[in-house]
Amino acid sequence: MNHRQEKFVRFQDWNSERSSDRNFPYNDRARWRKVGMISNELHKVLECGSRRIKSILQALNSCLSCLLARSLGSEKKMLDPQGPFLQKWNKIFVLSCVIAVSLDPLFFYIPVIDNDNKCLHLDRKMEVTASVLRSITDIFYLLHIVLQFRTGFIAPSSRVFGRGVLIEDAWEIAKRYLSSYFLIDILAVLPLPQVVILVVIPRLRGARSLNTKNLLKFVVFFQYIPRLLRVYPLYKEVTRTSGILTETAWAGAAFNLFLYMLASHVLGAFWYLFSIERESTCWQRACGNSSACHHASLYCDDDHTGFKTLLNSSCPIETPNATVFDFGIFHDALQSGVVESMDFPQKFFYCFWWGLQNLSSLGQNLQTSTYVWEICFAVFISIAGLVLFSFLIGNMQTYLQSTTIRLEEMRVKRRDAEQWMSHRLLPEHLRERIRRYEQYKWQETRGVDEENLIHNLPKDLRRDIKRHLCLALLMRVPMFEKMDEQLLDALCDRLRPVLYTENSFIVREGDPVDEMLFIMRGKLLTVTTNGGRTGFFNADYLKAGDFCGEELLTWALDPHLSNNLPISTRTVQALSEVEAFALVADDLKFVASQFRRLHSKQLRHTFRFYSQQWRTWAACFIQAAWRRHCRKKLEESLREEENRLQDALARGSGSSPSLGATIYASRFAANALRALRRNTSKKARMADRISPILLQKPAEPDFTAEDK
């Protein structure tokens, strides 16, 4: 069936007919008449296509304008250029533009050489695929054009103070867009490659197909320029409004690497098309030198009769001969057979690798012929490779510097610390503690001054960040569970992060308490000896969610507080690396004075229950009460025994005492005497021990004066 056969067309240069007058039996007038007919037909086709495109654009514009008008409600509701919708759309459109720039070179892979018949034909499957993909990207251009007529702008004269005034007048918006990027957008969206591939080329037959090669090449290249020109301002606009893409160094490096790969893809596609063009030029020259060969026979069609022997000898590929015809840098494509393959992935990746290889080597390995345009193409490869490689290396260097600058600062600080420790002759154990602290601080903060960074932010933003960092930690502290949100915000705003290394002492017993710690991570040991008195020792462990330095809270809650800081009753030592938040004395006093809800009775009871100081005092108080109970119970038992003995003696006073009574009395007397001696010595020893065991009751604020 004829309709299933592929359409074969032979490409040829416009100027190739100058040396082929003898191949055509027509005179000059007939040839010029034929050229005029071709030009008229092309003009009619392009005019018809432009009218159709114009009608489609007008219909789409009117439909989308109506939809936008209905959705927005009135003319006053124009789109804000800095609104979330347009920011998302600009990102999508930039991505679609980059994809469109990557898809346009696919049209260059449509021509294929039939080596068996020595003719050219078109890959029908590639035609449809490239046209469909190009049409999909054109839809985004159409939507962008419509949205530009509905997007307001900030008047330059109103940017003196503040954000500026948003212009929402439809006529001003249209006038501004028509005078800026409207022409570029229209040139970029015209479906010229689809029209040439699907409409123009199928209508050209025989010798008239000589024009299709240059037509395809120049149409795609003509539209490639406005598409490239549109990407850069859009990229700058997206970066300015939303601050993405290359605001970070790694994104800039990735973007330039993508440009490098895209340039390799484009150069590979041009190399493929130019290789076919050079072989086509060789065929035309060979036919021009032979009276039996006709140019029309170089195109694969139903009436094709090849001249394989003539073309193989005049255009040698397997055994290249520069004296016959020098293919230059295109010989590799012809010899590898990539221009003959219908397997698109195979020829795509081969051409991409050729472009990447020569772009990276700046075209140093290219052996060109004396053909001028081939030399220009090689020069362009060298310049493009130099520019893109410089951008790529520059951004990579910026990225590496941004990641290593903190490390370099840490090395400088560590070197300065080592020199200072050597100058001061610090012992090795102190040096090791300093090194551990610096290393742990780097691991936790990566060299970022977190406190200074948060302090420079606005108050509401600083409050939200502090809530994110500290609120969950404060809520794990039982005494803060029932506080209201305003009080928790005040506490969070004044917390600052602190780090402690292993075996470091946070506070020692007897030292002034200047901060209250809320532990976020790590394990601590808290010990008290009741002022160093002999015979008393109490220890406990603190973990994430606990706190220490509660003496400071009692001091801050006291309405009659003094300027002297409270004395620590415990020694707190870090058993591992500890990360916590600290609340200093002045900040805690400010919070307590501003928010009297801290003085509630329920909060005071909760504080007593979870305070280590109150827990220790309660344990000592219970122990002392238990000892009093045991001593009282012993005294009562002795008193009962004594009463029982006296009763027995009273009953036996009227008669002579029996032998059993005498023995019982003697045993009781001995036991009582022994117990009396033991109790006397124990009381003497306990008199020295009970006083240190009984801790002094922790100070409790008196709010009676406040209540009055």
* Cα R_g (the chain), whole angstroms: 47
Same domain? For 219 and 364 the reply is: yes
As beta bridge partners, residue 650 has: none
Of 389, 406, 432, which marks where a domain is finished? 389
pLDDT at 665 (0 to 100): 58
Mean pLDDT of 370-382: 88
Identify whether the C-beta of residue 320 lies closer than 8 Å to the C-beta of residue 331: yes
> pLDDT tens digits, residue range 195-209?
888 787 777 665 445
- Report whether pLDDT(153) > 70: no
pLDDT at 353 (0 to 100): 92
The band of 352, judged by pLDDT with boundaries at 50, 70 and 90, is very high
> What amino acid is encoded at 570 in this protein?
R
Of 342, 370, 389, which marks where a domain is finished? 389
- Report whether pLDDT(5) > 80: no
Domain contains 428: no
- Report whether pLDDT(260) > 80: yes
pLDDT at 605 (0 to 100): 64
**Structural domain span for residue 164:** 2-389
> pLDDT tens digits, residue range 426-466?
888 888 888 888 877 776 666 677 777 777 888 888 888 87
The band of 534, judged by pLDDT with boundaries at 50, 70 and 90, is low
Identify whether the C-beta of residue 207 lies closer than 8 Å to the C-beta of residue 12: no
Rounded alpha-carbon distances, angstroms, from residue 45 to 42, 152, 202: 5, 38, 12
Mean pLDDT of 583-604: 71
The label of the residue with tokens 């008239």 reads 208
pLDDT at 81 (0 to 100): 67
CATH number at residue 653: 2.60.120.10
Domain contains 447: no
In order, the DSSP letters of 541-581 are: EE-TT-EE-HHHHHHHH-TT--SSPPBPSSEEEESS-EEEE
Mean pLDDT of 565-591: 84
Beta strands in 98-175 (DSSP E): 111-114, 119-122, 153-154, 166-167
The band of 40, judged by pLDDT with boundaries at 50, 70 and 90, is low
Same domain? For 578 and 708 the reply is: yes
The two structure tokens encoding residue 10: 């032979």
pLDDT at 194 (0 to 100): 84
Identify whether the C-beta of residue 557 lies closer than 8 Å to the C-beta of residue 533: no
Lowest-confidence region among 174-178, 226-230, 578-582, 664-668 = 664-668
The band of 23, judged by pLDDT with boundaries at 50, 70 and 90, is very low
Same domain? For 384 and 512 the reply is: no
Name the pairing type of β-strands 578-584 and 515-521: antiparallel
Domain contains 445: no
- Report whether pLDDT(34) > 60: no
Distance, CA of 394 to CA of 40 (rounded, Å): 52
The band of 31, judged by pLDDT with boundaries at 50, 70 and 90, is very low
- Report whether pLDDT(177) > 70: yes
- Report whether pLDDT(14) > 80: no
Domain contains 477: no
Domain contains 705: yes
Of 349, 373, 389, which marks where a domain is finished? 389
> Higher model confidence: residue 363 or residue 592?
363
> What amino acid is encoded at 87 in this protein?
Q
pLDDT at 451 (0 to 100): 72
pLDDT at 8 (0 to 100): 42
- Report whether pLDDT(509) > 80: yes
Mean pLDDT of 324-333: 81
Same domain? For 37 and 171 the reply is: yes
The total number of structural domains that make up the chain: 2
> Highest mean pLDDT: which of 65-69, 247-251, 288-292?
288-292
pLDDT at 73 (0 to 100): 42
Same domain? For 379 and 514 the reply is: no
Nearest one of 219, 205, 196, 237 to 91, comparing CA atoms: 237
Can you state the angle between helices 612-651 and 659-693, rounded to 10 degrees?
160
Rounded alpha-carbon distances, angstroms, from residue 218 to 46, 275, 314: 15, 16, 28
Same domain? For 555 and 686 the reply is: yes
- Report whether pLDDT(364) > 80: yes
pLDDT at 67 (0 to 100): 46
Domain contains 538: yes
- Report whether pLDDT(370) > 60: yes
> pLDDT tens digits, residue range 83-104?
667 777 777 888 888 888 888 8
Domain contains 344: yes
Lowest-confidence region among 70-74, 437-441, 563-567 = 70-74
- Report whether pLDDT(701) > 70: no
Domain contains 395: no
Q: Which residues lie below 8 Å from residue 336, measured CB to CB, with a gap of 6+?
A: 350
For residue 471, report the phi and psi dihedrals to the nearest 5 degrees: -65, -45
> Higher model confidence: residue 234 or residue 594?
234
Nearest one of 571, 531, 542 to 694, comparing CA atoms: 531
- Report whether pLDDT(333) > 80: yes
- Report whether pLDDT(389) > 80: yes
Residue length of the chain: 708
Distance, CA of 434 to CA of 422 (rounded, Å): 13
Question: Is 0.95 surpassed by the pTM of this model?
Answer: no
Distance, CA of 580 to CA of 462 (rounded, Å): 19
pLDDT at 20 (0 to 100): 38
Distance, CA of 315 to CA of 118 (rounded, Å): 11
